[in-house]
Amino acid sequence: MGTRMFVAVYPPEDVRAQLAEFLAVRPGLRWTDPEQMHLTLAFFASVPDRSLDRLADHLADAARSVPAFLCGLHGAGAFPHPDSAAVLWLGVEDGAAELSRLARKARAAGNRAGVVPDGKAFHPHLTLARPGHTNATRWIRVLETFSAPLWTVDEVHLVESTLQGHGHRPRHRTVMTAPLAP
């Protein structure tokens, strides 16, 4: 059995701190810890140890082929639908096309390394909470008021995700960071 991993972009610490402060005064949901706030580009349910170096090499090549770009969180939503929200998220407006390109390249890097990415369509977002299939319309309206400065995306992270058991948050550990083109 391999290791759960994903490729992600992390907003800078000041943006995550601003978002954590915004959420702290809004009790009622278990919000994502600021250190785990990220934009997932590709998810790999099982990366065999023998494939890890190839995945890291292909991911580094892919990252070098994409120039750094501006990104910003904007808008909010829920998966699968606001009436039955399993996930609440903030969206991306500035940088969405570039994130989509980076996601395609990260998934292709996985395929070249023999690691199959999940088949879900890419939708750039930052997961904030998992409310458990509830109507989230009110929360979406609140989250849509969040505003943060744009930041430069200049690297991607290959992250190991270890599940802790029911009700516990996964542990994330960056295995490798790959810079984008200047």
Give the pLDDT score at 118.
94
Domain 3-27+35-72+92-125+150-179, CATH class in plain words: alpha beta
Radius of gyration of the chain from its Cα atoms, rounded to whole angstroms: 16
In degrees and rounded to multiples of 5, residue 23 shows phi and psi of: -80, -30
- The token pair at 152 is 């430069």
CA distance 30 to 28: 7
What are the tokens at 23? 């959420």
Provide the sign of the torsion angle of the four alpha carbons 67, 105, 172, 96, taken in this order.
Answer: positive
Look at residue 132 in the predicted model and tell me its pLDDT.
86
Active site residues: 38, 125
pLDDT in single tens digits along all 182 residues of the chain: 799 999 999 999 999 999 999 999 999 899 999 999 999 999 999 999 999 999 999 999 999 999 999 999 999 999 999 999 999 999 999 999 999 999 999 999 999 999 999 989 999 999 999 998 889 999 999 999 999 999 999 999 999 999 876 666 789 999 999 999 99
Of the candidates 133, 27, 120, the residue with the CA atom closest to the CA atom of residue 82: 133
Domain residue ranges in the chain: 3-27+35-72+92-125+150-179
Question: pTM of the predicted model, to two decimals?
Answer: 0.93
